[in-house]
């Protein structure tokens, strides 16, 4: 009987220690004032869209990576204004491979039909093997849907 009570007390102590850990603020919220960042999100989006149109591959790559980070920090935001510029980068055969791959990853994280379509098109049509492989991996569900529609005919 004493063992059961002792075990119950230990269990209660362990679970009660875990409760405050769930309500602790995140590391991001401790380091940054996310309210301030959210207030200026529209200006940040406009500047990023402008920098995506640059001819400098390093600036474009940096901007795309910033977009990917914003998607993680603000998952509730749609960031629909990034879809067309990112799609243009992915589709541009003359653009830097690194920027095209980052753009495909960012488009995939936006979860939009238009972005998914651009990724799927590049998985089938691009001449750059690295971009083709990444896009094929990201568009695997679209390929599966195509196989089902072909096999059902």
Tens of pLDDT, residue by residue over 19-78, are 555 555 566 555 666 665 778 889 999 999 999 999 999 999 999 999 999 998 888 889
Residue 8 placed within a domain: no
Residues 6+ positions from 12 with CB-CB distance below 8 Å? none
Residue 7 placed within a domain: no
With a cut of 70, say whether residue 84 has pLDDT above it: yes
Task: Supply the range of the domain harboring residue 123.
Answer: 33-151
Whole-number average pLDDT of the chain: 85
pTM comes to 0.75
Residue 25 placed within a domain: no
With a cut of 80, say whether residue 145 has pLDDT above it: no
Residue 123 placed within a domain: yes
Q: Report, in this order, helix, strand and coil percent for the chain, each rounded to 5.
A: 80, 0, 20
Tokens 């919220």 identify what position?
29
């Amino acid at each position: 009987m004493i063992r059961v009570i002792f075990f119950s007390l230990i269990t209660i102590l362990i679970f009660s220690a875990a409760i405050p850990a769930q309500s602790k603020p995140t590391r991001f919220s401790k380091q940054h004032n996310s309210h301030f960042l959210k207030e200026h999100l529209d200006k940040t989006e406009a500047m990023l869209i402008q920098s995506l149109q640059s001819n400098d591959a390093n600036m474009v790559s940096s901007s795309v990576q910033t977009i990917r980070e914003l998607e993680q920090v603000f998952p509730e935001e749609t960031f629909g204004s990034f879809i067309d510029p990112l799609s243009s980068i992915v589709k541009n055969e003359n653009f830097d491979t690194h920027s095209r791959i980052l753009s495909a990853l960012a488009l995939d994280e936006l979860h939009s039909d238009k972005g998914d379509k651009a990724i799927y098109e590049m998985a089938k049509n691009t001449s750059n093997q690295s971009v083709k492989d990444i896009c094929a991996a990201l568009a695997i569900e679209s390929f599966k849907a195509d196989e089902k529609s072909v096999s059902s005919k």
